Chains A and B, each alone.
Chain A
Amino acid sequence: MVRKRSLLQLVRNQWIMWVMLVPGVISLILFSYLPMFGIIVAFQKYDIAKGFFSSPFVGLDNFTRFLHDPMIQNVIRNTLGLSSIKLIVSFPIPIVFALLLNEVRIRPYKRVVQTISYLPHFVSWVIVIGIFKKMLSAEDGVINLLIETLGGERINFAVSSWFMWPLAIGSDIWKETGWSAIIYLAALTAIAPELYEAATVDGAGRWKQMLHITLPGIKSTIIILLILAIPSIVGSNVEQMWVLGSLPVRDVTEVIDTYVLRTGLGSMQYSVAAAAGLVKTVISVILLVTVNTFAKRIGEQGVY
């Protein structure tokens, strides 16, 4: 009884805080939690006119429908293939970049390199792909100019299926390397300088210091980011792949996320698309939980 009254009193004292919370909580409910319930359309034959409440339920129909889509094999291959390659190729690059930058002893130079390195992160994917397409243009692109000067034949990259994955990976590296390195660079500054001093006294060179002090110093950061990266193997960069996916090359660029958009919002098959999206979310949550549990088992921190 005593406790209850004090609680009431606290709420009374804190009413301003509750009011301050209102706009945020409304947005949270409307645009984050309501869509979670909206996922029931994946089990309905959703009809815009009838809405969430009156559309008929059809069980798992939508799931079998998208699994029988002739495009789905390509979609699964592209999603898993491209994400795996991105994970293997793109993940270590910012680490290496951060380590190299960390070895630079000329401070202003280090700062200039770093500042420039994260600039592309702020450029939209429309523009990034636009710039790359222009450079690769068959008529007047600089890459074909180079190829021709070297005595080669002009290549029409924009319609070359084999080139889309390298382009996706390359543009991703160009855009995000510097940005992803920030978190490693921050972790690097947290390493105690005394460790390096002691190592120098003991006669360890720069290479040995990097191997035995720097890398172990950022190991837990690397593992956390790896945990967060692994579930994205069923995801993809939807903006990037959407811009890349022009009609002639779509069979190698269509990934789950773009497929969801195209079937759902493009051709109004909301339910089928929502079902495909749901499968993706479920798989990525399972992956996250598995990887996180594993990381904790081997004595690492984990993300939750």
Chain B
Amino acid sequence: MRQSTGEKAFNFINIAYLFLFMLTTIYPIWYIFIISITDTSASSTADIFLLPGKLTLDSYKAVVLNASLLNGFKISVARVLIGVSLTLVNCSMMAYVLSRAHFQGKKFFNMLIVVSMFLSVGMIPFFLVVRSFGLVNSFWGLIIPFAYDPFGIILMRNYFRNVPISLEESARIDGANDLVIYWRIIIPISMPILATMTLFWSVWFWNDFIYAAFLVTKKDLQPVQVILLQIINGVSNAASLGKLTSRGVRLRTNGEAVKNAAIIASIVPILIVYPFVQKYFVQGITLGAVKE
């Protein structure tokens, strides 16, 4: 098909515009990254904007040497691993049961879930309930109250419904019960949606700071985002937080660069997982969202 001049111009401008869009998306992260790998011991980073200055990994060394940040990373990793596993088991079992047409209580539980999605009464009653179970200032308080996600259950339920019934029938004839069908047939075939939910929940558990900030005030239980919040808002000073010497040698960095290194370090886990799950999640959401 031949293109008119107008269309050619449009194509060109469109592609250029989207290129600009990509740049604005990437640049802020790039900017933080180049500062985090620049030697800031002698000069400030005030004139850096495109390429790093003298290279060093000392800022990252300072992050690792910082006991409170390092502990925050550990808490966050544990929270993601345990939290996501629990949520996956919890929600996928519920989704499986609700996706079976012959399950008797289907309507009632579906309604319970939808209501819980639209009628959330806010953080205060939630906090008071969590508190009354003694889950404040405890590691499990960062996990158990969040191991349920109505939106995720509905997405998974819709996905499970679309699994061809013939697969299940032959297993049933062989005498398989629902737990076997769930574990042997539905779970292996539903990787796109499971990968999608794993990504969503991992990101949620990794990124949450607002619940964590109020549920956990003990320093050694705070996840990394809470500590970063304090550093970024200047509650605790990055420079005083960071030990800027290693074995008596002064690290070639300063408080600002350490802060940037911590920011990058907190994005890296997402950047690592992202490419693997990326191809699944568009498919996962769109398939799961197909009609009630």
Asked whether B276 is an interface residue with its Cβ less than 8 Å from the other chain, the reply is: no
Instruction: List the A side residues contacting B97 at CB < 8 Å.
Output: 17-18, 20-21
Considering only CB atoms, which chain B residue lies closest to A34 in the complex? Answer: B129
Asked whether A27 and B90 contact (CB < 8 A) given A101-B18, A122-B203, the answer is yes
Binds B, one of A72-80, A126-134, A211-219: A126-134
- A1 interfacial by beta-carbon distance below 8 Å: no
Considering the chains assembled together, what is the distance between the CA atoms of A285 and B119 in angstroms? 8
**Which one, B63-71, B177-185, B187-195, B245-253, is touching chain A?**
B177-185
Given contacts A17-B178, A20-B93, A20-B94, contact A122 B274 (CB under 8 A): yes
- Does chain B have a CB within 8 A of A243? yes
A193 within 8 A of B: no
User: With the chains together, A280 CA to B120 CA distance in Å?
Assistant: 11
- List, in ascending order, chain A residues with CB within 8 A of B49's CB: 142, 145-146
User: Across the A-B interface, how many residue pairs have beta carbons closer than 8 Å?
Assistant: 245
Interface string of B1-40 (1 = CB under 8 A from A): 1001011001100110110011011101101100100000
Interface size on B, residues (CB 8 A): 95
> Considering the chains assembled together, what is the distance between the CA atoms of A52 and B24 in angstroms?
50
In the assembled complex, which residues on chain B have CB atoms less than 8 Å from the CB atom of A34? 129
CB-contacts of A8-39 with B (<8 A): 10-11, 14, 16-18, 20-21, 23-25, 27-28, 30-39
B101 CB to closest chain A CB (Å) equals 12
In angstroms, Cα B127 to Cα A265, docked, is 8
Query: Binding site of A, secondary structure by majority: helix, strand, loop or mixed?
Result: helix
Contact check, A28 vs B116: say whether CB atoms are below 8 A apart: yes
B174 / chain A contacts, CB cutoff of 8 Å = none
Q: Which DSSP category, helix, strand, loop or mixed, fits chain B's interface?
A: helix
Whether A281 contacts B121 by the Cβ 8 Å rule is yes
Contacts of A285 in B (CB 8 A): 118-119
Is B214 an interface position by the 8 A CB rule? yes
Say how far A186's CB is from chain B's closest CB, in angstroms.
Answer: 4
B130: chain A residues at CB < 8 Å are 31
CA gap between A129 and B91 in the complex, in Å: 32
Query: Interface on B for A, CB 8 Å cutoff?
Result: 1, 4, 6-7, 10-11, 14-15, 17-18, 21-22, 24-26, 28-29, 31-32, 35, 44-47, 49, 89-91, 93-94, 96-97, 100, 102-105, 109, 112-114, 116, 118-133, 144-148, 150, 153, 177-179, 182, 203, 206-210, 214, 225, 228-229, 232-234, 256, 259-260, 263, 266-267, 270, 274, 278, 282, 285-286, 289
Those 5 A-B pairs whose CB atoms lie nearest each other, nearest first? A38-B125, A24-B94, A277-B122, A124-B207, A27-B148
